[in-house]
């Protein structure tokens, strides 16, 4: 209840008529003053919303509202500094005004004043915007130490997109390693977010070598909980992108770091877990005519008989050592419920496909030794594929195919691993 009304109510219960009149007069005067003050404030606010600088100026001068001065500064492009200074005279803790003043000073080549204003903004407001603004100023002033320090503060305080900060650092000529050291360190608050954001930027830019650097950091310093899941999602995506880009060796490094699997060419050969469809794990090719189902230790395919004469059932990218290395390959295939299991099994073949050489066709269910072809590189990226091929003259296969563990192991005694 307004003060004036309270006073009126109070005086109504008192005795002396003279005092009553006096108190009522005081109360009425207070009400009037309050109404005038309210109307004045409202009028100032209305004037401050005007597009006319004179109106805004009058409102700002009358009210001493720093926001009105800011508004005035916006209406006086290129000549906004004095309005901003007036805003700061009214409210020295207005970081927005400090930042705007700093930008205006900088545009007027008053670098010292600009620097001081940016510093003041950071002093009165320990949030992201002053730090980000000062980092930008540092960049424009070629002040790299300030860029690193303010950037680190911005990384710590940022809740949104970190890419602009990374962009700034890269435009300043910083190498990815340096950026990671300065801002993406595991001890820096927000460093994990920055590493993640940086990996996104690098994947988006198809900068695979730099992405690998960040991936190594993420692998060496995994987050926990949701952060870890986020990291893994990105890293799996990176493995896929690298494989697609023909960088199997680098992809394999990330894959090993992610999965911790033994350094064998084949992942999930025992079909111990459901094919993820990512990286060096099994990938299936969904088809209405062939229904895939995984159960621990086996992959099952149900054929309707409507499938294509040649259908890809399962595949996995692999990395093999170049010649003169050899590998043992074996797989277990069954066609339960089929009268002539051997004949039915002949419809399923493995194909090892590698660049610049003819695919190697391997009969399913038969143990084979593979010799890798000569190659100019230390390692050969390849794809191991399980195919259905309808034999000439045979009816389309109908029924179930059960695939047991698949093995692809080094045959040479000196080979223990690929990818290393």
Partner 1 sequence: MMSIGVNNGLDWRFRGQAWLAVAMALYLSVGGVLLDAAAPVIGTAAANGSFRVDSMTVKGNATLFEGVTIETGAVTSAMQLASGARMTLGAGSKGRIFGDHLVLERGQGQMDKLSSFRVEARGLTIQPETGNASGRVELSGANRVQVAAVTGSFRVLNSTGLLVAKLPEGASLAFEPQGVPTLTRISGRLEIKAGHYLLTDETTRVTTEVVGKDVSKNVGQRVEIRGAMDPAAAPASDASQLVREQNLRLLAQAGPAPAAAGSSSSGAGTAGASSGSGAGAGAGAGTGAGAGAGTAAAGTAAGTAAAGGGLLGLGVGTVAVIGGVAAAATVGGLAASGSFSSSTPVSR
Provide the binding-site residues for partner 1, judged by CB under 8 A.
Answer: 45, 48-49, 51, 53-54, 57-58, 61, 64-68, 70-71, 74, 76-79, 82-83, 85-86, 89-90, 96, 99-100, 103, 106-109, 111, 128-129, 132-133, 136, 139-142, 160-161, 163-164, 167-168, 171-173
**DSSP tag of 58:** H
Smallest distance, Å, CB 133 to partner 1?
6
Which residue number, 204 or 355, has a Cβ lying nearer to partner 1?
A: 204
Which residue number, 106 or 210, has a Cβ lying nearer to partner 1?
A: 106
Token look-up 């003041």 returns 120
Which residue number, 7 or 202, has a Cβ lying nearer to partner 1?
A: 202
List 312's β-bridge partners, or say none.
387
Determine the Cα–Cα distance for residues 366 and 363; give it in Å rounded to an integer. Answer: 6
Check: CB of residue 64 under 8 Å from CB of residue 34. Answer: no
Q: What is the dihedral of CA 218, 219, 223, 225, to 10 degrees?
A: 130
Smallest distance, Å, CB 51 to partner 1?
4
Smallest distance, Å, CB 69 to partner 1?
9
Which residue number, 73 or 349, has a Cβ lying nearer to partner 1?
A: 73
Smallest distance, Å, CB 121 to partner 1?
10
Smallest distance, Å, CB 38 to partner 1?
14
Smallest distance, Å, CB 320 to partner 1?
40
Q: How many degrees, rounded to 5, is the angle at CA 124 between CA 58 and CA 179?
A: 125
Which residue number, 77 or 296, has a Cβ lying nearer to partner 1?
A: 77
Tokens of 409: 């192991």
Check: CB of residue 406 under 8 Å from CB of residue 333. Answer: no
Give the strands of the sheet with 360-363, arranged side by side: 283-284, 310-321, 379-389, 348-353, 360-363
Phi, psi of 264 (to 5 degrees): -105, 155
Which residue number, 160 or 340, has a Cβ lying nearer to partner 1?
A: 160
Smallest distance, Å, CB 2 to partner 1?
21
236 closest CA partner among 206, 264, 262, 257? 257
Determine the Cα–Cα distance for residues 56 and 46; give it in Å rounded to an integer. Answer: 9
Smallest distance, Å, CB 167 to partner 1?
7
Which residue number, 64 or 373, has a Cβ lying nearer to partner 1?
A: 64
Tokens of 262: 């033994």
CA distances from 224 to 183, 192, 256 (A): 19, 10, 19
Tokens of 250: 């680098």
Smallest distance, Å, CB 33 to partner 1?
21
Query: How far apart, in Å, do the first and last CA atoms of the chain sit?
Result: 80
Dihedral sign computed on CA atoms, order 147, 148, 153, 156: positive
For the chain, how long is the longest CA-to-CA vector?
Answer: 122
Check: CB of residue 248 under 8 Å from CB of residue 381. Answer: yes
Which residue number, 174 or 239, has a Cβ lying nearer to partner 1?
A: 174
Which residue number, 162 or 320, has a Cβ lying nearer to partner 1?
A: 162
């Amino acid at each position: 209840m307004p003060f004036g009304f309270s006073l009126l109510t109070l005086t109504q219960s008192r005795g002396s008529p003279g005092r009553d009149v006096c108190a009522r007069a005081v109360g009425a005067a207070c009400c009037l003053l309050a109404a005038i003050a309210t109307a004045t404030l409202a009028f100032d606010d209305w004037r401050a919303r005007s597009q006319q600088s004179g109106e805004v100026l009058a409102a700002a001068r009358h009210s001493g509202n720093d926001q009105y001065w800011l508004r005035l500064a916006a209406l006086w492009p290129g000549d906004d500094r004095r309005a901003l200074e007036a805003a700061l005279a009214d409210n020295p803790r207005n970081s927005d005004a400090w930042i705007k003043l700093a930008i205006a000073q900088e545009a007027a080549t008053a670098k010292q004043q600009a620097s001081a204003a940016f510093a003041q903004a950071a002093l009165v407001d320990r949030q992201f915007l002053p730090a980000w603004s000062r980092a930008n100023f540092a960049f424009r002033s070629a002040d790299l130490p300030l860029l690193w320090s303010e950037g680190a503060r911005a990384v710590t305080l940022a809740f949104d997109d970190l890419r602009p900060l990374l962009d700034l650092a890269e435009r300043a000529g910083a190498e990815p390693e340096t950026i990671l050291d300065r801002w993406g360190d595991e001890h820096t608050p927000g460093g994990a977010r920055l590493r993640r954001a940086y990996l996104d930027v690098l994947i988006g830019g198809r900068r695979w070598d730099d992405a690998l650097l960040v991936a190594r950091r993420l692998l060496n310093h995994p987050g926990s909980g949701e952060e870890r899941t986020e990291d893994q999602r990105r890293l799996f995506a990176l493995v896929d992108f690298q494989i697609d880009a023909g960088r199997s060796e680098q992809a394999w490094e990330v894959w090993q770091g992610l999965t911790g699997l033994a350094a064998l060419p084949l992942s999930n050969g025992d079909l111990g877990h459901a094919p993820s469809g990512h990286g060096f794990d099994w990938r299936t090719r969904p088809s209405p005519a062939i229904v895939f189902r995984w159960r621990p230790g086996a992959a099952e395919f149900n054929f309707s008989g409507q499938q294509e004469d040649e259908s890809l059932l399962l595949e996995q990218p692999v990395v093999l050592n170049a010649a003169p290395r050899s590998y043992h390959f074996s797989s277990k295939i069954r066609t339960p419920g089929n009268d002539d299991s051997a004949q039915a099994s002949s419809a399923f073949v493995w194909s090892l496909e590698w660049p610049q050489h003819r695919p190697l066709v391997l009969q399913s269910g038969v143990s084979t030794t593979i010799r890798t072809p000569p190659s100019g590189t230390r390692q050969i990226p390849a794809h191991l594929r399980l195919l259905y091929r309808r034999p000439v003259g045979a009816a389309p296969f109908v029924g179930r195919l059960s695939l047991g563990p698949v093995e692809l192991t080094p045959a040479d005694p000196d080979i223990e691993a690929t990818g290393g």
